[in-house]
Structure 1
Amino acid sequence: MIIAKPLFGALMMAFLLAPLAAILPLAFTSSVFLAYPIPGYSMRWFEELLTVDVWRMSIVNSLLIGAGTTLLAGALGTSAALGLRKGGLLFADLFRTVFLLPMVVPAVVLGVGMQLMFVRIGLANTYVGVICAHTVVAVPFVIVTVSASLAGIDRRIEQAAASLGAPAITVFRRVTFPLALPGILSGAVFAFATSLDEVVLTLFVAGPNQRTLARQTFSTIRENVSPAIAAAAFLFIIGTVVIVGVGLAMLLRSRSNHTS
């Protein structure tokens, strides 16, 4: 039984990673087709991502929109987590459920609703609209990580600071915020990763000038299957793994600091 669990976990991991192992080597093919065996190895498709205007613009857009989403989702998610942490809040569980709904609502439903709303208020086909759309699906991840970080803070430390005459804003700035910072940074990392990978909402709310790397990859798959897609997927996977790894490291460090 002890061996069965790790073996089952390893088999599940292999099953999930097998498609990636099949597609990633094709990012380095010298052929214009996604096919095995690979005739030769080349970096030409990575060069195409950096030299072709449509790919280069999509990479810049992804970074800009991801940065905006990270800042907005970090601020809103942290504020929501702090509000939910306060005792005596009426309907706290209901509010928490509402905040986490974007994690379970189908992206198509969110996309249609946002498109209808953004057209009315003038945010359709704008960078602000795309950032707002990505923020909706990124905020729940920030709330979860920040709430976990705040749950590990001993309230007696804050009460001690308040008993010494520190105003509430000073208690937050000098005590609460530094202790919750690892969770806030972890939430920001997950928000950026969520924005980087989001494609369905982008299809609904973004215009040609806001085309992200995820949307460009999706469009290229429909129009012309090129090894550049494999190169873009390679960047996606490596970037996401690094970002999520940093986020998990920060979260584990935060939990270890609270338990020590």
Structure 2
Amino acid sequence: MSGSSTHKPRPDIWRTLASVVTVLVFLFLLVPIAAVLPLSFSSGSFLSYPMPGLSLRWYEELLTNYKWLLALKNSAVVGVGAAALSTVLGLSAAIAMNGLGPRARAIVNGFLIAPMVMPVIIMAVGLYLFLSDLGLAGTITGMILAHTVIGTPYVVISATAALQNFDMQLIRAAKSLGASPWMAYRRVMLPAIRPAIVAGSLFAFVASFDEVVIVLFLAGPGQVTLPVRLFEGIRDELTPVVIAAAAVMISISVGLMTVIEILRRKSVARRGMA
């Protein structure tokens, strides 16, 4: 018998501690939301516990009140328009950067993603001054252009990551077989990176849908979006309809982020099979 003794593996204390801290952070962020959201089903007119009863009256008001419907419509129109423009511009920029050298690519990429790190109040003031000179302040078109600025970086990042795993030899092969450059990109490249493009578009939509500060600078009385209307509701008429609107926003955002995660996993699986 040797003198050595077997030792049980020591548990990873740091990993356990990190897991506990992560759970506590999630609870800190989610418990207040979970405590407030049930009030959207209250039959009463005030935000209070215990609730006098359950009702869908506040969701009915949300879907029938002109102010809330207009805000939801504006958010949808601006979000879809900004996401579409962001997709075109971000994908074009990512394809163009793919042909640059490492140093030039880093410089251009830094310029394109600058709106993500710039203070939003500075962005809002700059966009207001620029769009005012063009006569677009206080218009839906102006807000779509402004939200395109903040949405494009998400598409750039998503498309650039996908293109790094794309074999450009496939484009050259398609061209050698008689395909035009546009057909080669449309039939060969775009299908391969489609999940990343859609994910970037959804990120751009979510960024637009949740934006408040830029809208406060640019929106006229008829261009108020749902987040701004929610802000006004908290300030002026604190009723459960505000919680119902917040629940709708949270549901839309969570749903879109779930779709983005599914697309991300599909993209990773596709790269693993390539």
TM-score normalised by L of structure 2: 0.90
Q: Which residue of 2 aligns with 1:219?
A: 232
Whichever residue aligns with residue 20 of structure 1, its letter is I
Q: 2:48 aligned to 28, 35, 44, which one? A: 35
Structure whose CA Rg is larger: 2
* Runs of 4 or more above 6 Å deviation: none
- Partners of 2:269 and 2:115 in 1: CA distance: 30
- Partners of 1:154 and 1:7 in 2: CA distance: 42
Indicate if the aligned counterparts of 1:152 and 1:255 stay in contact, CA closer than 8 A: no
Q: Which residue of 2 aligns with 1:125?
A: 138
Alignment partner of 1:198: what SS? coil
TM-score normalised by L of structure 1: 0.95
What displacement does 1:19 show? 1.8
1:1-260 pair list within 5 angstroms: 1=12, 2-88=15-101, 91-260=104-273
Alignment partner of 2:113: what SS? helix
What displacement does 1:212 show? 0.7
Any stretches of 5+ residues in structure 1 without a counterpart? Answer: none
Identity of aligned residues (%): 38
Alignment partner of 1:154: what SS? coil
Indicate if the aligned counterparts of 1:145 and 1:251 stay in contact, CA closer than 8 A: no
- Partners of 1:225 and 1:106 in 2: CA distance: 29
- Partners of 1:38 and 1:148 in 2: CA distance: 49
Whichever residue aligns with residue 102 of structure 1, its letter is P
- The C-alpha deviation readout for 1:141-195, integer Å capped at 9, x for no partner, is 1111111111121223223323334332222111111111111111111111111
Whichever residue aligns with residue 224 of structure 2, its letter is R
Q: 1:128 to 1:26 in 2, by over 3 A?
A: same
- The C-alpha deviation readout for 1:14-72, integer Å capped at 9, x for no partner, is 11112211211111111111122222111111111111110111111111111111111
- Partners of 2:239 and 2:185 in 1: CA distance: 52
User: What is the count of residue pairs matched by the alignment?
Assistant: 260
Alignment partner of 2:39: what SS? helix
- Partners of 1:136 and 1:144 in 2: CA distance: 14
What displacement does 1:216 show? 0.4
What displacement does 1:79 show? 0.8
- Partners of 1:67 and 1:174 in 2: CA distance: 25
Pick which of 150-159 and 95-104 moved more: 150-159
Whichever residue aligns with residue 95 of structure 1, its letter is V
- Partners of 2:215 and 2:50 in 1: CA distance: 35
